[in-house]
Structure 1
Amino acid sequence: MPSDTNKTKTLTIRMPMNQHEIGDALGLTHTYVSKIIREMEDAGIISRNGPTLTLGQQGRLRDMVDFSDRCEMLDTSWFPS
């Protein structure tokens, strides 16, 4: 049975970039970034508190981006404790 290699993993992350910086990095306007973040909050997919972001519906996010965790089923039982 696979074990999780990151025991401190949570669904809350610190977002070091503001909406302008996210937009610049992705080639989007900060207005569009703000709109998408607001829609995700309204849908309960994420929640924000200052610079922290919490994933509310992890499964839905995985489906939205067609995420496949190739590391999830790795056998780590041989790792030292």
Structure 2
Amino acid sequence: MSFADDGGREDDSVPPPEPGGLLPDPGGLLPALPAPPPVPLLSPPPPVPPPLLPPPVPPPEPLPSPPPPPVPPPPLPPPLPPPGLPVGSL
């Protein structure tokens, strides 16, 4: 096998790889990446006001005392005997 002699010229279309396995950089240094925008400092959130409490409920009024129980009627007298019969003749 014989190879054609090109006069010692190397193929200039593909640059040789750089050491470290990086792709060749034909323009010299790679352009620097833009710095990320600064992260704005977060201000602490405003304090949350306490929830509004409903107005206090007044204590319930005491219930009126129940009326006294009704007085029972007096007992009825013993029934009277029918008229016309003498008393004690039963």
TM-score (norm 1): 0.17
Query: When you count helix as a share of all residues, which structure comes out higher?
Result: 1
Higher-Rg member (1/2): 2
TM-score (norm 2): 0.16
**Higher RCO (C-alpha 8 Å, min separation 6):** 1
